[in-house]
A and B are shown apart, each in its own frame.
Chain A
Amino acid sequence: MTYPADLLEQAKHLANREKKKPRQASLRRAVSTAYYALFHLLIHEATLNWRRTEQRAVLARFFEHGKMKNACDRQRGMCKDYFSAQPPPAQGPDFDCMTHLQKVAHTFFQVQQQRHMADYDNSKDWTRTEVLTQIQLVEEAFDSWHQIRNHAFAQEFLISLLGNPKGM
């Protein structure tokens, strides 16, 4: 298993760790870990494009939560424009890719906010249902990503996670 997949498995383990009365610590760490599973999946995929393998870990440090959030927001907008275009887009690989990209971008956006609350807002009580819905979103995003990872749109999305290029 890869590190992101391990994190996702760990999030599920934490969410179900206490059978009867889940501890807040377990639920909070589950939400946070689910987010980091997706965060590291996308970064891992992006850095795979860097030919010098020994530099990939360094490159990974250039990705930032806020910039990745903004990239996901832009991607959601692009997906919305694509699906609402006239004439409507034809079914096919591009259509499927945009459908899955929309899922990935939406999920990243959603779980990043949840992670922030789980890690920093101690006034909030979490329930297992809340946590499981977040984990399941991430699990679906993993599946979506693996279906489109080699598509040109998906590769452009990976680059966008670094931030907005100058002049654009």
Chain B
Amino acid sequence: MIHRANADFGATTSCPPTSAPAPVTSKYRALAVTCDNSLVPFVPNVFVNQQEIAAGVQRAANALGSTVVRIRYDIGSDWTGDPSIFFRIILTDEAAKKPKLNEIANAIALILTREVKADEHGLHSYFNFRSASEQAALNEPAWA
């Protein structure tokens, strides 16, 4: 479902499905409002079709196969206030080894860009990569 956020951060004009909201980490909590008891990430002046984005991420994950353990994302604003999507990608330890890392990270970013088409949703894309063992050590909920 498409929802639009008001520019004054006051309220959303409609709510996305309560079953599949994108996770909102504490970092972006200021950019979220409650709606039907669920947190709804929103971006001022931008329509965000969360189902399309979720489907795109799923397609990318399917295409990426065994190098990726999981992909998480948030929608919020970057440092200049531009609407953005922040991808958090956990790689297998094998994929995160130095000689391969750059090639694999570039390929993943390319596939996510192609499948999610974030720019067509008015969102800039940012990518962060961790290895599975790094995440296991940190145990950060936003990446879990």
Q: A residues engaging B (CB < 8 A)?
A: 66, 69, 73, 80, 109-110, 112-114, 116-117, 121, 123-125, 127-130, 132-133, 136-137, 140
Contact of B129 among A80, A109, A125, A129 (CB under 8 A): A129
State whether A69 and B91 are in contact (beta carbons under 8 Å apart), knowing that A123-B27, A129-B130 are contacts in the complex.
Answer: no
Q: Are B130 and A130 in contact (CB under 8 A)?
A: yes
Indicate whether A127 sits within 8 Å of B126 (C-beta atoms), given known contacts A66-B80, A69-B80, A132-B101: no
The SS class assigned to the B binding surface is mixed
Q: Is the CB of B27 within 8 A of A133?
A: no
Residues of B in contact, count (CB < 8 Å): 24
Nearest CB of chain A from residue B94's CB, rounded to whole Å: 12
Residues 78-95 of B at the A interface (beta carbon under 8 Å): 78-80, 84, 91
Encoded as 1 (CB less than 8 Å from any A CB) or 0, chain B from 117 to 134 comes to 001000010111111001
A residues near B134, Cβ cutoff 8 Å: 127-129
If A113-B84, A123-B27, A128-B134 are given as contacts, then 12 extra A-B residue pairs at C-beta distance below 8 Å, sorted by A number, are A113-B78, A113-B79, A125-B138, A127-B138, A129-B101, A132-B101, A133-B127, A136-B101, A136-B102, A136-B105, A137-B105, A140-B102
- By DSSP majority rule, is chain A's interface helix, strand, loop, or mixed? helix
Flag B17-49 by CB within 8 Å of A: 1 or 0 each.
Answer: 000000000110000000000000000000000
**In the complex, which residue of chain B has the Cβ closest to the Cβ of A134?**
B128
Q: When the two chains form their complex, are residues A127 and B131 in contact, meaning their CB atoms are under 8 A apart? A: yes
Q: Does B140 contact A (CB under 8 A)?
A: yes
